[in-house]
A and B are shown apart, each in its own frame.
Chain A
Amino acid sequence: EADIYQTPRYLVIGTGKKITLECSQTMGHDKMYWYQQDPGMELHLIHYSYGVNSTEKGDLSSESTVSRIRTEHFPLTLESARPSHTSQYLCASSDGGAVTGELFFGEGSRLTVL
């Protein structure tokens, strides 16, 4: 079983609030990712990191930001949440490249913005 944890699992907030979704892994992986998933749709990469102080935007444009100050921690922040941000957010880490490595997912954070 993967040692990657996301909190909160569920969050319901009002428009304009600032939120942070936490993601931590204890496997020592350098590579970490954030995906966004809507019901019945494919996962879309929104952010990734290949190590401490390294962050890049993914394929899907997102108003969220990420940071990677410690290897094990990769939080995602929304400064001002809107209803369009309602979605499932999945954090993942890899023991190698995205091509050759195994990808381990957290349980997800389901965000609802009212």
Chain B
Amino acid sequence: KNQVEQSPQSLIILEGKNCTLQCNYTVSPFSNLRWYKQDTGRGPVSLTIMTFSENTKSNGRYTATLDADTKQSSLHITASQLSDSASYICVVSDRGSTLGRLYFGRGTQLTVWP
């Protein structure tokens, strides 16, 4: 069964600290993996998209890594800010059909305290 599991479910850190969020997936055949940030009551906003051949991609203070062999991805946030408080969602696409399909994780709820 194709699944996307994220950990931890929730995380609290102090402003200025770094943190790493995890995503494990069983989606096959794999096409790409995306990380989204979703502020409370808002729609998700894309942070990164990585294909099979990419193992690192950065977007400002956000760095995503991908290990397609172990089917794991991480999102590292550097020097956290209060505005980083949000849910971070891992989304994996398959290429099992011409149209593909998206599999969503439940997200990691990050809270940054001053």
Contact = CB atoms under 8 A, between A and B. Distances in A.
Interface in A22-73: 40-45
Contact of B93 (A43, A98, A105): A98
Question: Per DSSP, are chain A's interface residues mostly helix, strand or loop, or mixed?
Answer: loop
Interface size class of A (residues with CB under 8 A): 20 to 34
Interface in B21-39: 31-32, 34
B45 A105 contact: yes
B41 interface: yes
B102 A42 contact: no
B55 interface: no
B32 A99 contact: yes
Given A97-B100, A99-B95, A99-B100, A90 B43 contact: yes
A99 B94 CA distance: 7
Interface in A67-114: 90, 92, 97-100, 102-108, 110
Nearest to A35: B104
A108 B46 contact: no
Residue from B31, B49, B102, B107 whose CB has the most chain A CB atoms within 10 Å:
B102
17 contacts: A40-B109, A42-B89, A42-B107, A45-B102, A92-B43, A98-B101, A99-B31, A99-B95, A99-B99, A99-B101, A102-B49, A103-B46, A105-B43, A105-B44, A105-B45, A106-B43, A110-B41
Given A98-B102, A99-B31, A105-B43, 19 more contacts: A40-B107, A42-B4, A43-B44, A43-B89, A43-B104, A90-B44, A97-B100, A98-B93, A98-B99, A99-B32, A99-B100, A99-B101, A100-B100, A102-B46, A102-B49, A103-B46, A103-B102, A104-B46, A108-B42
